[in-house]
Structure 1
Amino acid sequence: MNIRLWVLPAVMAGCVVLTGCSSPTVVTLQNGTQYITKDAPKTKTKDGFYEFEDISGKTIRVRADEVATVKPKD
C-alpha cells in the first residue's frame, strides 16, 4: 500500500520535470522568415550553421549570417 502512495507523486514529478526541459524558441532570419523550434537551437557549428528542429519535426540548417534573432517564444 505504501508503494502506491509513493509512485503517483513520483510519476507526476517526472512529468513536470520533462515538461520544463523544452523551451520553444523563435528563430527569425534576415529575410523575415520565422521558425518555431521545439528546443533552443544548437549554437553556431564549426562550419558556420545553426541547426534546429522545427515544431513539425523537420531538421533545419541555416547559415549563421542569415539569422537575425533567436528568442524564447512568448
Structure 2
Amino acid sequence: MKIKGLALPVALVCCTVLAGCSTATVVTLQNGTQYLTKDAPKTKSKDGFYEFEDISGKTVRVRADEVATVKKEE
C-alpha cells in the first residue's frame, strides 16, 4: 500500500481525536451574563482579559475582573 493511500485515513482519525478533546465551558460574568463556549477560554492575558469563542463563532474578550466563574458544562 502506498503512503499517499494512508494519508487520508490517518488525517481523518487525527481530526476525530482532536474533535473529542474540546470541552464545552460556561463563562459567567459578575452581572449574570453567561457565554457557552466550544472550548475552555484562554487564561487571563497580560492585559487582563479573557478571550474565547462562543458557540456562534463570535470572539469575545472580557476583563478578568468581570468574570465570576468558568466551569465545564454539565
TM-score range (shorter-chain normalised) is 0.7 to 0.9
Deviates more, 1:9-18 or 1:49-58: 9-18
Unaligned residue ranges in structure 1 (runs of 5+): none
- For 2:15 and 2:59, the matched residues in 1 are separated by 26
Q: Which secondary structure state, in structure 1, belongs to the residue aligned with residue 47 of structure 2?
A: coil
CA RMSD of aligned residues (A): 2.0
How far apart are residue 13 of structure 1 and its match? Answer: 4.7
Q: Which residue matches 1:45?
A: 45
Deviation of 1:36 (Å): 0.2
Whichever structure has more helix as a proportion of its residues is 1
Kindly report which structure 2 residues correspond to 1:1-74, keeping only aligned pairs within 5 A, or say none. 13-14=13-14, 16-74=16-74
Deviating beyond 3 angstroms after TM superposition, the runs of 4 or more aligned structure 1 residues are: 9-16
SS in 1 for 2:20: helix
Question: C-alpha distance in 2, partners of 1:13/1:51?
Answer: 29
Share of identical aligned residues, percent? 75
Report the TM-score, using the length of structure 2 for normalisation.
Answer: 0.79
Q: Name the SS for the 1:42 alignment partner.
A: coil
